[in-house]
Amino acid sequence: MRQYFITGTDTDVGKTVASTALVNAFAASGSKVAGHKPISAGCELVSIGDQAVGLRNEDAQLLMAQANVELPYDVVNPYAFKEPIAPHIAALRTQHEIQMSVLLENYADLANYDLDVLISEGAGGWMLPINGRHTLPDVIKQLDIDIIMVVGMRLGCLNHALLTQQAILLSGLNIAGWIANAPETQPFFDENLATLTARITAPLLGVIPHVQDATSAASHLDISLLNQ
């Protein structure tokens, strides 16, 4: 099973747009693929009739909608918190702690499914604290998963992208590719894109403009570059 962890250069830079597009693109290529959101914050309590099902995250549900392998929600999103805040703070406010062991067990469980590709979407930016001792990269390092970096093409993107790249590489992990998310026209977009293309040591998988759905977003990606 090929695994990719999707990280962003900041929060709200288009990780879910990119992640759902990647799931869609792999499914269209004939791969058995699923999306994965190990930690989410910003969930709604869902009920069926009078029976509460549990907290559900919109990003996780969007990933599930693009997958062609059906997984239980709790496997797709093992840690879900109601408040849309930093997950380790949301956990503390509910008298819980996000544990590395649970996340590692979750990844081990995913390996038991008949999958060709797993797309895991992170939360926030790269250096996400998960508890008082660990960050999410501590988990990813143990798994040695390739990284796909999503850059929100807006003011400050050069600094954010290059710092994120530096932190990932210092972790000893491989950046398999990067995606430029550009839902709005920004001044000097071409110049910023050229700068990042020259300085990011991984292929540009595509530029995603403002789109209406994952299929449209996927049409702007070249996943064959991940095989290089």
Distance CA 218, CA 161 (A): 22
Instruction: Assign 3-class secondary structure to 118-135.
Output: EEEEEEEECCCECCCCCE
Give the model confidence (pLDDT) of 181-194 as tens digits: 999 888 999 999 99
Task: Reply yes or no on whether the pLDDT at 173 is more than 80.
Answer: yes
Confidence of residue 49 (pLDDT cuts 50, 70, 90): low
Predicted pLDDT of residue 47:
79
Predicted pLDDT of residue 139:
97
Task: Reply yes or no on whether the pLDDT at 228 is more than 70.
Answer: no
- Residues known to be catalytic: 37
Task: Reply yes or no on whether the pLDDT at 52 is more than 70.
Answer: no
Predicted pLDDT of residue 160:
97
Q: Which tokens go with 228? A: 């290089």
Q: Which tokens go with 227? A: 């095989």
Give the model confidence (pLDDT) of 77-131 as tens digits: 999 999 999 999 999 999 999 999 999 999 999 999 999 999 999 999 999 999 9
Predicted pLDDT of residue 185:
84
Q: Which tokens go with 122? A: 């992170």
Distance CA 71, CA 172 (A): 30
Classified by CATH at the fold level, domain 2-37+99-227 comes out as Rossmann fold (3.40.50)
Give the model confidence (pLDDT) of 145-168 as tens digits: 999 999 999 999 999 999 999 999
Q: What is the mean pLDDT of the chain?
A: 95
Q: Can you tell me the mean pLDDT for 164-183? A: 97
Would you say the C-alpha torsion 210, 213, 215, 216 has a positive or negative sign? negative
Q: Which helix (H) or strand (E) holds 159?
A: helix 157-170
Q: Which tokens go with 9? A: 């250069």
Task: Reply yes or no on whether the pLDDT at 178 is more than 90.
Answer: yes
Q: Which tokens go with 99? A: 């544990």
Predicted pLDDT of residue 145:
96
Q: Can you tell me the mean pLDDT for 165-176? A: 97
Residue 103, by phi and psi: left (phi above 0), alpha (psi -120 to 50) or beta? alpha
Distance CA 10, CA 124 (A): 6
Q: Can you tell me the mean pLDDT for 10-25? A: 96
